[in-house]
Amino acid sequence: MAQYDYDLFTIGAGSGGVRAARFAARLGARVAVAEERYLGGTCVNAGCIPKKLFSYAAHYGEDIGHAAGYGWRVAPPTFDWTTLIANKNREIARLNGVYEKLLSGAGVTLLRGRAVLADAHTVEIDGRRFSAKYILLATGGWPVVPPVPGAEHAISSNEAFHLRELPRRALVVGGGYIAVEFASIFHGLGVDTTLVYRGERLLKEFDADLGRFLAGQMQHKGVRILFRSSIERIARTGDGSGLAATFADGSALHADCVMYATGRTPNTRGLGLEQSGVKLAANGAVVVDEYFESSVPSIYAVGDVIDRVLLTPVALAEGMVVAERLFGAGGRSLDYAGIPTAIFSNPNVGTVGLSEAQARERQGAIDVYRSEFGALKHQLTGSGEKVLMKLVVDRSTERVLGVHMVGPDAGEIIQGFAVALKCGATKRQFDATIGIHPTIAEEFVTMREAVA
C-alpha cells in the first residue's frame, strides 16, 4: 500500500503548476492539482493572452489610419467594446478547456477548491485531506493597489479585462510594463489616456534608452505622461459621473477609470506556509534554492510565487526542472541569464541580455551601437513614428551582451537574437550576417559605428 495518496500534489493550475504536473505524470508519478479559480493561471486569464488580444485590438484603429497613405479610403472606423470582450471571453474559455484536457490526458487528478497546507506532506481542500510525498506551490501573484484614500474606486489589471463599458477617460498609474501596455491599449481604443508615474523614466528595470524612447513615442501618439507625480486620493465626483484623482500638489484630474499597475505580490497568504515551516521573504515570496526546494525538503515552489522572473516561459521551465529532479534523472537546470522579454506597448519593446548600465558595471569597457530611424512603412503614412535599436558589446571579446529595441514587432525580432546571444555571438558575427532587405530587423546587422 502506498505511503501517500500522491507522489506530487501541486497547488495552483497556472503555467508552472500545470507543466510540472504533466511532466511528472509522464515520468510515472501519481499527481494531483488543486485550483480554486481558473485553469491557466494569470497568463491565460488575466495576463499574457487577454492582454495580447487587447493589444491587437488597439492597433487596428491606428493601422486603418495609416492605410490612407497607401491609397486606401475607408469610412471612419467605430469600435465596439462588448464584441471584443465577448470574443476574448470565448477564447479564454477555450484555453481553459485545453488546460483541463492536457491534465486529464496526462492522467493528472484535478481537484477544484482552495488548498492549504496542513503539514509538510498534507494538503486540505474543503475539509478533505490528501497526503503527498512532495508538494509544489504554484499559486502565482496578485496585483497590488496602494492604500490611498479612495482606493476602492480604482481597479487593477484583473478588473480591466472585464469592464462592462470602455471608459472615455482613463488614468493609468505606474511606469512598468503593465502600465505602459494598458496605457497603450486604452489610448489605441480611443480612450483619453493619462499615464501617471512617480519616477522620472518608464521601465526603470530595463535599459535606460528603452524607457526614455518609449515615453517619447507614446507621447507623440497622444498619451499624456505625468512624471514625478503620484495620486494622493481618489473620490467620486459630485454628480457621481466619474472620479477625481487629486495629486500631491493639489491639482486634480477627472476620469471614468483609475487603474493601478504598481506591482504584484506573491499569492502566499492563508496557505498555511508559515505553520508548515516554509520560509518566506519580506514580500511573501517563497524562498527556494536553485532546485526550487523550500526550507521544508518536501515542499517546492515555482513561478510568480517565488518572485524571481515573472514570465510564463520561465515558470514553465522551472516546473520542468522540479519534475525532472523529483521523478526523472535530475539533470535539468535553469539558467536565468539571457532571458528575452517583450512589452506589448505601442510601440512594442523587445529586449534580451544586459542593459548598458549592467554591462558597464559587470564588464567595464563596452561599446554601444544605437540607431534611431523612421521605418520604411511610415515614409508614406506621415505618422512620424520612430524605431530604436541598440546593441551592447563587450569591447575586449566583441561578444554581444545585450540587444534592445523599441518598434513594431519587437518581440518577434528579439526572439531570434536571443538564440544568438545564448550561443555567444560576437559583433563581428553580427556584421558578417547578411540582412533581409528591406526590413527593420536588418538594422541589427548593419550598425557599424559605436556611439560616443
pLDDT tens, position by position, 50-102:
999 999 999 999 999 999 999 999 888 999 999 999 999 999 999 999 999 99
Residues 195-207 have a mean pLDDT of: 97
In which order are the strands placed within the sheet that holds 252-255?
231-236, 243-247, 252-255
Residue numbers annotated as active site:
437
- Quick one: pLDDT at residue 120? 96
Picking from 94, 102, 127, 84, the residue whose alpha carbon sits closest to that of residue 15 is 102
The whole-angstrom separation of Cα 106 and Cα 369 is 48
pLDDT in tens, 411-448: 999 999 999 999 999 999 999 999 999 999 999 999 99
The three-state DSSP-derived secondary structure of the chain is CCCCCEEEEEECCCHHHHHHHHHHHHCCCCEEEEECCCCCHHHHHHCHHHHHHHHHHHHHHHHHHHHHHHCCCCCCCCCCHHHHHHHHHHHHHHHHHHHHHHHHHCCCEEEECCEEEEECCEEEECCEEEEEEEEEECCCEEECCCCCCCHHHCECHHHHCCCCCCCCEEEEECCCHHHHHHHHHHHHCCCEEEEECCCCCCCCCCCHHHHHHHHHHHHHHCCEEECCCCEEEEEECCCCCCEEEEECCCCEEEECEEEECCCEEECCCCCCCCCCCCCECCCCCECCCCCCECCCCCEEECHHHHCCCCCHHHHHHHHHHHHHHHHCCCCCCCCCCCCCEEECCCCCEEEEECCHHHHHHHHCCEEEEEEEECCCCHHHHCCCCCEEEEEEEECCCCEEEEEEEECCCHHHHHHHHHHHHHCCCEHHHHHHCCCCCCCCHHHHHCCCCCCC
pLDDT in tens, 259-304: 999 999 999 999 999 999 999 999 999 999 999 999 999 999 999 9
- Quick one: pLDDT at residue 452? 83
The CATH architecture annotation of domain 347-445 reads 2-Layer Sandwich (3.30)
Residue ranges of the chain that CATH labels 3.50.50.60: 6-142+265-327, 151-262
The CATH architecture annotation of domain 151-262 reads 3-Layer(bba) Sandwich (3.50)
Averaged confidence pLDDT in the chain: 96
Confidence band (pLDDT; 50, 70, 90) for 226?
very high
Confidence band (pLDDT; 50, 70, 90) for 233?
very high
Residues 33-40 have a mean pLDDT of: 95
Confidence band (pLDDT; 50, 70, 90) for 240?
confident
pLDDT in tens, 306-332: 999 999 999 999 999 999 999 999 888
Pair 16, 315: CB distance under 8 Å: yes
- Quick one: pLDDT at residue 17? 97
- CATH topology classification for 6-142+265-327: FAD/NAD(P)-binding domain (3.50.50)
- Quick one: pLDDT at residue 175? 98
State yes or no: pLDDT of 1 exceeds 60. no
If 0-12 CB within 10 Å is exposed, 13-18 middle and 19+ buried, where does residue 90 land? exposed
Task: Return the C-alpha cell found at 171.
Answer: 488614468
pLDDT above 70 covers what percent of the chain?
100
- Quick one: pLDDT at residue 436? 97
Residue ranges of the chain that CATH labels 3.30.390.30: 347-445
